[in-house]
Amino acid sequence: MSKALGKQLVRGVGLLSAGLLLSVSLLGLATAAQTSKSTAKSAPAKSDPKKVASSKPAKASAATSTKPAQAKNAVSKTASAKATAAKPSNDRHASAKASRKADIVEAKASQKANKGGRDKAGKRALAEERVSAKHMQLARHKERVQPAVIARSATQARAERVAARETRLSLQPVVAEQTASVEPRAARLSFGQMAGLHAVGDPLDLKSSVALVMDQDTHEVLVSKNDHAVLPIASLTKLMTGLIVSDARLPLDEMVTITDDDIDTEKGSRSRLSIGTTLTRGELLHLALMSSENRAAHALGRTFPGGLDRFVGLMNARAQMLGMKDTRYVEPTGLSSANRSSARDLATLVQTAAKDPLLRQLSTSTGYDVAVGNRVVQYNNTNRLVHDPDWQIGLQKTGYISEAGQCLVMQARVGGRKLIMVFLDSAGKYSRLADAERVRRWVEIQRPANTVASNQYSG
């Protein structure tokens, strides 16, 4: 019993010592804390935490150095037990606090991220709107500026061309500048001009180099100028073409089609009768005599029984029968300058053709409408005198190629007389008609028996 009691007493004394030691330690810690506070208030600078921490173990070691070793062991065990007991609670609080902080940080980060995303989207939309507005502004500016730029570029290009031209001119030698002017190309002379027939004068001052006016019934010659000169006769040829067709008594209602063979390869003249046009023979004859339609005349010869060669042969044969010794034909239109005759021979032809009612009617027609495909083509007479009420024209035909000049033959009643008029190689477009007017006025006023100009050319 005494041993057990002794052990309990020792244990009690140890516990009491440990309690006292703990109280003294706590009191020392409180005093140290108060001293540190007052020192912190009085001192201008902060104390070094390392020195304070080092002073605490020193005081504790000084206080505990006077106690027995057992009491020290007991106190250390008790402090360690309390620290062990308090550690789980502190860990839970720290963990909870860290968790809340993490949640707060995460929420703030999420909010910031969302806000950043919205801000980025808004900024992106704003940037797109600004870019679109900028593009629209540039487009409007381009629309306003582009015409001016084009005008400036055109003006600049023109100025550059002018400058280049001036540069080229400035680089040319003076001799080249003096010889740069070229004389205008002279008009092609007719056969009558080349033969000097225009130099022959006459009392009526006619502009045609060849003229013949005679009474149809008495064969009296009223005006004569170079009447034996053999010259190209152009479309006066068509008068013989019509005479051959009329004499052949071919059906005028027979359909004839214009083909590639009817295209003018001699002079390259145009025609309003397109390839494939189909007309009656009578319509083609009408257009050939009234409007001098070349394709119509060629088609008449091409479709003649026996062909074109036979037709041209008949033209020459008929001329020989009529005593037209100076006349020669190579084709039925007059486009070739090889078709030639004299005023005397042509007067004979007019006198013969004037006896044919069909030729009289068609040659003096003022106009005719022809259905060509889906359109109607209007043709007029090439001789405007047929519209003049002062004229009584029974037969007429005009003609022109550069080699023949302006030509005209007519049968008309003037001053109560049937006159045959032939005008070849007239100088101007309307001079042949003016010559006919001069003759008519002269005949009506003067009514001379005969007026003959000197005949420079005969043959």
For the segment 166-181, what is each residue's pLDDT rounded down to a tens digit? 555 554 554 433 434 4
The answer to whether position 174 is within a domain reads: no
How much is the average pLDDT of 414-443?
Answer: 94
Please, which residues bridge with residue 171 across strands?
none
Q: What is the largest CA-CA distance in the chain?
A: 205
Tokens 């027609």 found at: 365
Eight-class DSSP state of 401: E
User: What is the C-alpha to C-alpha distance for residues 424 and 404, in angstroms, rounded to an integer?
Assistant: 7
- Give the model confidence (pLDDT) of 319-367 as tens digits: 999 999 999 999 999 999 999 999 999 999 999 999 999 999 999 999 9
Q: Is residue 122 part of a domain?
A: no
129 found inside a domain: no
Closest by alpha carbon to 257, among 274, 272, 240, 243?
A: 274
Q: Which of 209, 224, 235, 431 is catalytic?
A: 235
What average pLDDT does the structure give for the chain? 79
For the cut 80, the answer to whether the pLDDT of residue 46 exceeds it is no
Asked whether residue 176 is domain-assigned, the answer is: no
- How many structural domains are present in the chain? 1
Range of the domain at 416: 191-452
Q: What is the pLDDT of residues 128-166, one digit of tens each?
A: 777 677 777 776 666 665 555 555 566 676 667 666 665
> Pick the catalytic residue: 208, 224, 292, 341?
292
Domain assignment present for 152: no
What residue type is assigned to position 222 of the chain? L
| 280 domain residue, yes or no | yes
pLDDT tens digits, 74-124: 445 554 544 444 444 455 555 666 666 666 766 666 666 555 555 666 667
Q: What is the pLDDT of residue 147?
A: 57
Contact 257, 276 (CB under 8 A): yes
Q: Are 413 and 439 within 8 A, CB to CB?
A: no
DSSP classification of residue 199: G
pTM over 0.85? The answer is no
429: annotated active-site residue:
no
Residue of 207, 208, 224, 238 with catalytic role? 238
Does 186 map to a domain?
A: no
Which amino acid, one-letter code, is at 96?
A: A
Q: How far apart are CA 5 and CA 11, in angstroms?
A: 10
Specify the pLDDT at position 44: 46
Q: Is 207 a catalytic residue?
A: no
The answer to whether residue 22 is domain-embedded is no
Q: Return the CATH number at 419.
A: 3.40.710.10
Q: Does 235 qualify as catalytic in the annotation?
A: yes
Residue type, 103: D
Q: Cα–Cα distance between 318 and 241 in angstroms, integer?
A: 10
Residues linked to residue 368 through DSSP beta bridges, in sequence order:
379
